[in-house]
Amino acid sequence: MNSAILIIEDEYALAAALSTVVRRCEATPVVAASGQGGIEKLTAQEYVLIILDVGLPDISGLKVLEKIQTLPQPPPVMIITAHGTLDTALEARRLGAREYFLKPLNLADMQRAIREVLTPVKNLPRAETTMIGNSEPMQRAFAIIAQASSGDAPVLLQGPPGSGKSLAGQVIHRHSARAEKPMVEFRADEWQADRVEAALDEAIAKAGDGVLFLDEISAWSKPLQAALMHRLNAGTVKARLFSAASTEAAPHLREDLFYALAVLQIHLPSLCDRTADIPQLAAAFLGEQVLSAEALAVLKAHSWSGNVRELKAAMAHAAAVCGGSTILPHHLPASMVKPDQASHLEETMKRSLAAWLDQKTTGADETMPIYDHLLETVEATMLETLLKRFDNKPTRMAAALRMNRATLRRKLREE
């Protein structure tokens, strides 16, 4: 396969850095320093990928992207820009851009994104159901689910919201002797108090001799519990009963009703109690897309108050945002970034600086200009970092820092 990658970038240092990344991916970089130069190179050979800067000196990168899309088989395009706006991002996506990266670039992210273009995506089989997991809590649950599927006893499913109680009920029903009969779900909180008993009778009748799934049973009122117990004692309920509770059911149910419903009890753990299952669950939700190691680390550190349901929603979000097949941290929902992350970084910086200062000043000669030396060292590191942030453009950097350009250039020469 031709592994040439076209880099359309006017800044020499950035083009060189991207070329190095491309070579690390065992591909051949071809560089164009302008939009028109990039368009001319489009016809010279075929490319497996194009890396395109929006801010080109002659024409907009979006115009180049339009031209790329007119090719008989346009290659995937990764957009990079120093000034990302919603309109630019939307237009780039509309024109077929695969990925959208903001400067200063994280070259490690770029390398992963390039590698996934160069690596054929495996067609992984979709799981029959998302009731998956190798963790010990899930293995215990699976054993009872299998037992429930082969019998006909009432089942009580307990676990926090989003842990998969409804899905577990569907799995048991699908593999049970009543699989061809209906499973009807009844939620008491969807009905007004004066209508709830009539609604329960309608659900019982609709379920027939199939399955009646009683959701959030532990939240039922005492009168409604009594009404259900009366119908069970009268023999008017022909359906097999599945009950679900987000809290421990026993303290909230009549004793006789609890024993009638909880012949088999299945506990579904919170996602925080089964973090080892996150990679497998995420893979099932994503299908052909895959998680990067960094994105997986974010998922494992998350609190998951919504459990598996929240993970499924997060993967749907990431899949929609990601234009390729590898999910990176910036594709995940913003809520997964801890609010105190910035302050945490600042505190880490202060602690590191304090330790460094302590090391540098311990035993120092009092006659030496130690403060000037420390200041020069810190300033040099700061200027080097900021220069990279502003794409090695001192003019932009000086404007952003409100610093005299001549002063900044002098300081940069002194580094």
CATH superfamily placement of domain 4-118 = Response regulator (3.40.50.2300)
Question: What is the C-alpha to C-alpha distance for residues 327 and 294, in angstroms, rounded to an integer?
Answer: 9
Q: And the tokens for 366? A: 């009092």
Query: Phi-psi category of 97—alpha, beta or left, where left has phi over 0 and alpha has psi -120 to 50?
Result: beta
Q: In one letter, which amino acid is 292? A: S
Choose among 383, 355, 360: nearest CA to 371: 360
User: Residue 291 and residue 315: Cα distance in Å, rounded?
Assistant: 10
Q: What is the pLDDT of residue 294?
A: 84
Over 60: is that where the pLDDT of 340 sits? no
Q: What is the dihedral of CA 81, 85, 90, 95, to 10 degrees?
A: -30
Quick: pLDDT tens for 32-87.
999 999 999 998 889 999 999 998 999 999 999 999 998 888 999 999 988 655 56
Please check whether residue 99 is in contact with residue 277, taking contact to mean a CB–CB distance below 8 angstroms.
Answer: no
Q: Which CATH architecture has domain 355-414?
A: Orthogonal Bundle (1.10)
Q: Does the pLDDT value for residue 123 go beyond 50?
A: no
Q: Find out whether the peptide bond into 104 is cis, omega within 30 degrees of 0.
A: yes
Cα separation, 219 vs 39, in Å, equals: 65
pLDDT for 1 beyond 70: no
- H helix or E strand, kind and range, residue 315: helix 307-321
- Bridge partners, residue 215, by sequence: 187
How confident is the model at residue 342, as a pLDDT?
A: 44
CATH fold group of domain 136-269: Rossmann fold (3.40.50)
C-alpha 41/C-alpha 391 separation (Å) is: 25
From the options 3.20.20.70, 3.40.50.720, 1.10.8.60, 3.40.50.1370, give the CATH code of 272-336.
Answer: 1.10.8.60
Question: Which pair of structure tokens corresponds to residue 19?
Answer: 């070329």
Question: 162: alpha, beta or left, given left = phi > 0 and alpha = psi -120 to 50?
Answer: left
Instruction: Mean pLDDT check: name the lowest of 90-94, 103-107, 152-156.
Output: 90-94
Mean pLDDT rounded to a whole number for the chain: 85
The residues near 316 (Cβ < 8 Å, ≥ 6 apart) are: 285
Domain edges within the chain: 4-118, 136-269, 272-336, 355-414
- 128: exposed, middle or buried (C-beta count within 10 Å: 0-12, 13-18, 19+)? exposed
CA distance 30 to 41: 9
Locus of tokens 């000086």 = 398
Using CA atoms, how far apart are residues 56 and 204, in angstroms rounded to an integer? 68
Q: In whole angstroms, what is the distance from residue 296 CA to residue 282 CA?
A: 9
For 215-271, how does the pLDDT look when each residue is reduced to its tens digit (9 = 90+)?
Answer: 999 999 999 999 999 999 999 999 999 999 998 999 999 999 999 999 999 999 999
User: Which is more confidently placed, 310 or 404?
Assistant: 310
Same fold, 4-118 and 136-269: yes
Whole-angstrom distance, CA of residue 80 vs CA of residue 240: 58
Single pTM value for the model: 0.55
Q: Which among 135, 213, 204 has a CA at the least distance from the CA of 174?
A: 213
Residues 6+ apart with CB under 8 A from 325: 116, 121, 288, 289, 290
Can you tell me which residue has the tokens 């067609």?
A: 123
